[in-house]
């Protein structure tokens, strides 16, 4: 029995070793190093001392915390819009579509993600620019007197963020709704329940783990997105990841950039914790 137990432990250790190494080398140690760098101040070339100055700079400079707040609010809004658009699509795929139609619709949701985010973003730039297809259609229909520039504003950023994140909302919702017994919905209709009442009392409570899981993934991806806000919003997009990029790459201020990165991590963790508390969900339930 002891040999079996030792063999089982060794097997578990071997199976989990790649995951442990991945977390240790690519997540835990980099974050520890990020925290260490953020808590030091350069007083001379290659001479540092412990300081909270990098964090205090964030609160002293209005541009930083305003950009921080703007990024958080727009990320939450993008998550809500993605949920509003993605839920009906997911419900139709999971509970209404059948056979090849169901597979085809799910494939259509995945199709845009077969190319890189850069290509997808450039596609939206082609559509929304002054000489783009949408501007041309508006002029052809007589709805615009001249070329219409739809790039470099918050609406363009929101369109890009929702489009980029949609699959990560649809997949967990489809998986959760697939497990809902159709008999429960039919019984509710037989008992005189309205569509809204059935959604409120049966469908949404059952889909809540998928909703929370999708919202967490979409929010994290949106909050940490750099490419889409920068390309669709232009140089004045005021996205916090752009501030982090500027500190690291443009100003070579790794201490300030590390502090901003850690603040972004704390912000995302705080908002996710608040969302879990409000929805009364546990993190374990969202990853099943």
- CATH code of the domain containing 272: 1.10.3720.10
Q: Average pLDDT for residues 17-30, to the nearest whole number?
A: 88
pLDDT above 70 coverage of the chain, percent: 95
pLDDT at 90: 93
* Tens digits of residue pLDDT in 29-69: 988 988 999 998 877 777 778 888 889 988 888 889 899 99
What are the pLDDT digits (tens) for 143-163? Answer: 878 888 888 888 999 999 999
Q: How many CA atoms lie within 13 A of 255 on its CB side?
A: 17
User: Does 98 lie in the same domain as 182?
Assistant: yes
Average pLDDT over residues 92-109: 87
- Region 10-30: mean pLDDT is 86
CA distances, 240 to each of 158, 183, 206 (Å): 15, 47, 35
Predicted confidence band at 2 (pLDDT cuts at 50, 70, 90)? very low
* Closest CA relative to residue 211, chosen from 162, 161, 177: 177
| Segment of 2-6, 105-109, 207-211 carrying the highest mean pLDDT | 207-211
Give me the pLDDT at residue 281, please. 74
Phi then psi for residue 118, to 5 deg, are -60, -45
> Do 18 and 89 fall into the same domain?
no
Rounded to the nearest integer, the mean pLDDT of the chain is 86
Report the b/e string of 159-193 with b at 16+ CB within 10 A.
bbbbbbbbbbbbbbbbbbbeebeeeebeebeeeeb
Q: How many CB atoms lie within 10 A of CB 218?
A: 27
* Amino acid 85: pLDDT: 95
Question: Cα(224)–Cα(88) distance, rounded to whole angstroms?
Answer: 26
Task: Give the bridge partners for 156, in sequence order.
Answer: none
Beta bridge partners of 47: 44
> Would you call 280 helix, strand, or coil by DSSP?
coil
User: Residues 133, 235: one domain?
Assistant: yes
Note whether 154 and 20 are same-domain residues. Answer: no
Number of domains in the chain: 2
pLDDT at 92: 92
pLDDT at 97: 86
State whether 9 and 126 are in the same domain.
no
Is a pLDDT exceeding 90 seen at residue 5?
no
Q: Look at residue 44 and tell me if it is in a domain.
A: no
Distances (CA, A) of 6 to 15, 16, 21, 202: 14, 15, 22, 47
Does residue 275 fall inside a structural domain?
yes
**Could you tell me what percent of the chain has a pLDDT over 90?**
25
Same domain, 32 and 138: no
Tell me the per-residue pLDDT of 243-282, one tens digit each, with 9 for 90 and over: 999 899 888 888 999 999 999 988 888 888 888 888 777 7
Assigned domain for 11 exists: yes
Specify which residues 49 forms β-bridges with: 41
| CA–CA dist 26, 46 (Å, integer) | 26
Are the CB atoms for 236 and 125 separated by under 8 Å?
no
pLDDT for position 1: 42
């Amino acid at each position: 029995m002891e040999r079996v137990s030792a063999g089982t432990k060794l097997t578990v250790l071997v199976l989990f070793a790649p995951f442990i190494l991945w977390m240790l080398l690519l997540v835990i140690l980099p974050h520890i190093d990020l925290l260490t760098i953020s808590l030091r101040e350069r007083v001379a070339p290659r001479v540092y001392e412990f300081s909270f100055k990098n964090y205090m700079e964030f609160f002293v400079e209005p541009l930083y915390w305003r950009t921080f707040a703007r990024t958080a609010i727009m990320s939450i809004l993008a998550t809500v819009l993605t949920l509003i658009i993605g839920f009906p699509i997911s419900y139709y795929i999971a509970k209404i579509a059948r056979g090849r139609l169901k597979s085809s619709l799910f494939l259509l949701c995945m199709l845009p993600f077969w190319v890189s985010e850069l290509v997808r973003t450039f596609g939206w730039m082609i559509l929304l620019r002054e000489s783009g297809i949408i501007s041309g259609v508006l002029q052809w229909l007589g709805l615009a007197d001249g070329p219409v520039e739809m790039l470099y504003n918050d609406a363009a950023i929101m369109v890009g963020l929702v489009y980029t994140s949609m699959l990560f909302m649809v997949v967990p919702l489809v998986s959760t709704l697939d497990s809902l017994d159709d008999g429960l919905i039919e019984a509710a209709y037989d008992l005189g329940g309205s569509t809204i009442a059935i959604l409120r009392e049966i469908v949404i409570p059952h889909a809540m783990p998928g909703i929370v899981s999708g919202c967490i993934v979409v929010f994290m991806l949106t909050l940490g997105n750099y490419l889409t806000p920068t390309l669709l919003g232009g140089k004045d997009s005021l996205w916090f990841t752009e501030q982090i990029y500027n500190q690291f790459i443009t100003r070579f201020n790794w201490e300030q950039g590390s502090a901003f990165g850690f603040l972004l991590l704390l912000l995302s963790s705080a908002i996710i914790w608040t969302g879990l508390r409000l929805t009364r969900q546990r993190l374990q339930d969202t990853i099943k």
